[in-house]
Structure 1
């Protein structure tokens, strides 16, 4: 059988279904290790057989009609079995981030229409508290070795597979354009959207990624993430590579494991790589077999990449992609990386930059919105109300801003909603924040646009100092910063703060902070107003009792102003709550607290909440 990584004719040589990537690898490399977790090794042949059994279980329960199978757990072979079992059964796989809280989890399962939830024990514990509000779920099972919070009455996936009849699941006809998987966007600019990926999207991007990363049969990859991403899973399967799974958070342990297993490709997160770069044990670590360290999830500070690259003698790189493109669109092969770039388009992918004003295509070196086109671009969004995002010629508008350099490499600037203009020059806050991160006096920062009557807007910085007592350090840091920037990017004013609020995945809630800041400049209140709708799943008096307990807690929190709970006159099972907070930072800090999450869990037991809606309002009198 021809190797999927050979030859240039990428689209023509791929299987019709994404699960056949694994089938092909099992036929070519049956005895080779596919997955390694601790002392457990799963060969390609045994993995393929387990996927057959999983497909048989799902086919028996749901047929082959495209039912959504939600899968969420820490790094574990069961995730691969469940994902490809869903595909092989003729249904649709949805990977769920296992860190989701109850309200987020309920939104994802409702929006996707999930019929099954195959979750690790921790995520299952959260599912249990909202299960009554998800009547569409027909099957729930636990992944992994430890049933934990799930309890003895919930079946484990391993038990379901053991009970399944042996043999290959009957093949079903599949068009490469049929839906294969759903993937939710990160939701940084609004509510997460469900992206529909076809079998062709998944298979194309698996091979694109494997070729871009230089994977081949016999390669060893080390995955140091909290949970699986299908990009790493499927590219390794397409290549016939071995995936060594390291769910432990300690980056030193991960590097020691990488050395012991002779990993050539190491995948980790920016926060873990930053921790590694500052670790006192770094000088004693080495990776003699490594070809590259790849970072994903959010921006990797250049200083961290350079420090680790110097120490280990391998490129520390970051590509670019998005859920709507399956996800990878840009990456430089090991040895070809350039600092500050996310790479060239992967095989079979086109890119261009268009004007933010009129959409005209811009020449090399000009900054505008990034658009991409290729066989990995999604079928569309599950909810048509979210818009097409892809034009009639197949170009996907990414919502990101950047430029293409002379070497055809992409250099990112920011999100469209975050950039601003100073004297008609585009300014990206993230670029300035990256330079501030290199200054030893600055522990954290966020850059916002401050309206200016002459220039339109100028850069304004919120700074967290390494030494909070040395306020003069801020002026000196900004002097050093501005000496490195053209005039239109220079920070004109600043404020020293104790902390920068961040979301649970480490991102800055820039929209809320920006609106709050602008509201203050307008002379109004930077007030955050939240509107929640609750659909009762218990008696009204039971809901009101639980809600009152939650309200008592909220009234004690710093920054809380007041709230109003009203009951619908037309539907007595619907309540609306309107709450006000002094500013975005106060609201963000409280909702991330464990006490708040405890109350959310209790409310989930008596009502189903719509996704959280909030905005920042100017000119509100207290």
Structure 2
């Protein structure tokens, strides 16, 4: 780390030059070094895939995609729960020269259609229960080809087995690491979801930083339950786990008993979770009924959590419990904890190798000294190339000299440990999922009974936050009816927990809602309700 007199904090030097390669080339080279080792175990079925089989399936699926007309520059959208097939198809699409855009399997038709439209995806991969939703969304867009897992026949959709049995040659895709590899959708520091352009170079860089900066032993067994359509689930858990020489245990989603059973039965050693899952691990009685003694490390990200919760999980599971920090726009990770060194409960760790950090006064733009809180800025090779088709938002997030403005308020202590204390950005975090208030407000304003609306996050012990709508009704309003109407049009994590009717929404001179004011009023209201 750099000395405390400098406003710029340096992560450790990279141990070696970052490879100039693509994501599938990088991962396939790693797994080819251990062909007989297990690459993945599917927790629900117990299916296993060796590294050699994974490599072979990636190649066959890439050949199959090319035979179906998938070309360099195309985008394949994946709308599916976590599974080994998610990994195979994603790496195959990249190997064929295209990019991958993961979508939330809980999306409605309208939400999925928007992502298909924005990403210009011509191909989509899904599972049978979601095929109808994908078809209906595709009818509104230019998506032409459907691939579905787990079936022999699927009408106009191509079974994944058909790709895996392709006898064609693997496509000779471009080896240019600066081409687009991954297109997740994120709300960034504010606003509605935007396509985050992550190149092969950026992703490979972040995987190398994670592997170097963490204590992930070869042969570790990690639970891949965080959604792969998120950077944490795909880049941090999946790609970094495979690159480090580990085995992935895939789980479609978090369900308490299935989650604990997977850890116990597969002797999982490493789990990366989000704060609501940490709450579950710290306090739920079900946890004590499973043998979790295989755990060597439990990490948390997606949102900061207090040192007390960290300590409770550590004491209960009897293994190190740490936090990390990142964002979709950097692949996945900016800070993490190396358990070989000092631990600092409540911190999100230290800056990853090859990365710089600084703390900036958001009002003046000047650098702040160690220990003072301001907006966290970072610079490194893992930064994204910009928001798809949105130069204005890109310019608001990336500075001309390559720093990313995170929108999070934090401080860095004398030893280089980073602490997140607040956030400038308006995103609501529900079970680690980012919810953009602007998106929910736009939907509310389509309801004939709503004259004005603002959405805030209300703190919640189990989910982190819950969306709450403050609305100005045009006429008499039934809050439960409005919530039901809203729930039909959004994914489950975006549903309104409460509706508060008011005469006016406080706004600044530019017309933006004063969310801090509303959050303060909401806290007073909840305290009043609790005391009554």
Q: Deviations over 1:22-41 (max 9, x none)?
A: 22123201111101013200
- Match in the other structure for 2:161: 158
SS of 2:146 mapped into structure 1: strand
Report deviation, 1:592. Answer: 5.6
- Match in the other structure for 2:346: 340
Q: Is the 8 Å Cα contact of residues 79 and 126 (structure 2) preserved in structure 1?
A: yes
1:18 aligns with 2:20: no
Once residues 80 and 218 of structure 1 are traced to their aligned partners in structure 2, the CA distance between those partners, rounded to angstroms, is: 19
- Match in the other structure for 1:76: 83
Q: Is the 8 Å Cα contact of residues 251 and 276 (structure 1) preserved in structure 2?
A: no
- Match in the other structure for 2:172: 171
Once residues 504 and 266 of structure 1 are traced to their aligned partners in structure 2, the CA distance between those partners, rounded to angstroms, is: 16
CA separation of 1:251 and 1:296: change in aligned 2, threshold 3 A: farther
- Match in the other structure for 1:582: 473
Q: Deviations over 1:312-349 (max 9, x none)?
A: 11122221111111121100123543111111011111
Segments of 5+ residues of structure 2 without an aligned counterpart are 1-11, 453-470, 492-503, 508-532
1:32 aligns with 2:33: no
SS of 1:133 mapped into structure 2: coil
Q: Is the 8 Å Cα contact of residues 78 and 101 (structure 2) preserved in structure 1?
A: yes
Q: Deviations over 1:47-103 (max 9, x none)?
A: 111111111122234454311111121111110011101110011111212122222
Q: 1:260 aligns with which of 260, 265, 269?
A: 265
Segments of 5+ residues of structure 1 without an aligned counterpart are 1-6, 419-429, 431-500, 514-526, 533-553, 564-579, 602-615
Once residues 311 and 479 of structure 2 are traced to their aligned partners in structure 1, the CA distance between those partners, rounded to angstroms, is: 33
Once residues 339 and 302 of structure 1 are traced to their aligned partners in structure 2, the CA distance between those partners, rounded to angstroms, is: 5
Q: Is the 8 Å Cα contact of residues 189 and 425 (structure 2) preserved in structure 1?
A: no
CA separation of 1:196 and 1:237: change in aligned 2, threshold 3 A: same
CA separation of 1:588 and 1:43: change in aligned 2, threshold 3 A: farther
Report deviation, 1:13. Answer: 4.7
Once residues 61 and 112 of structure 1 are traced to their aligned partners in structure 2, the CA distance between those partners, rounded to angstroms, is: 19
Q: Deviations over 1:352-386 (max 9, x none)?
A: 00111121111101111110011101111112242
Once residues 174 and 450 of structure 2 are traced to their aligned partners in structure 1, the CA distance between those partners, rounded to angstroms, is: 58
Once residues 387 and 58 of structure 1 are traced to their aligned partners in structure 2, the CA distance between those partners, rounded to angstroms, is: 32
| Structure 1 segment 469-480 matched on structure 2, within 5 A | none
State the aligned residue count: 456
1:349 aligns with 2:355: yes
- Match in the other structure for 1:414: 422
1:395 aligns with 2:403: yes
Q: Is the 8 Å Cα contact of residues 72 and 79 (structure 1) preserved in structure 2?
A: no
Q: Deviations over 1:120-157 (max 9, x none)?
A: 334333222222211x21211123x369xx95442222
Report deviation, 1:310. Answer: 0.4
- Match in the other structure for 1:278: 283
TM-score normalized by structure 2? 0.77
- Match in the other structure for 1:541: none
Report deviation, 1:278. Answer: 2.3
Q: Is the 8 Å Cα contact of residues 29 and 44 (structure 1) preserved in structure 2?
A: yes
- Match in the other structure for 2:197: 196
Once residues 392 and 506 of structure 1 are traced to their aligned partners in structure 2, the CA distance between those partners, rounded to angstroms, is: 29
TM-score normalized by structure 1? 0.66
Once residues 192 and 44 of structure 1 are traced to their aligned partners in structure 2, the CA distance between those partners, rounded to angstroms, is: 35
CA separation of 1:117 and 1:238: change in aligned 2, threshold 3 A: same
Higher relative contact order (CA 8 A, sep 6+): 2
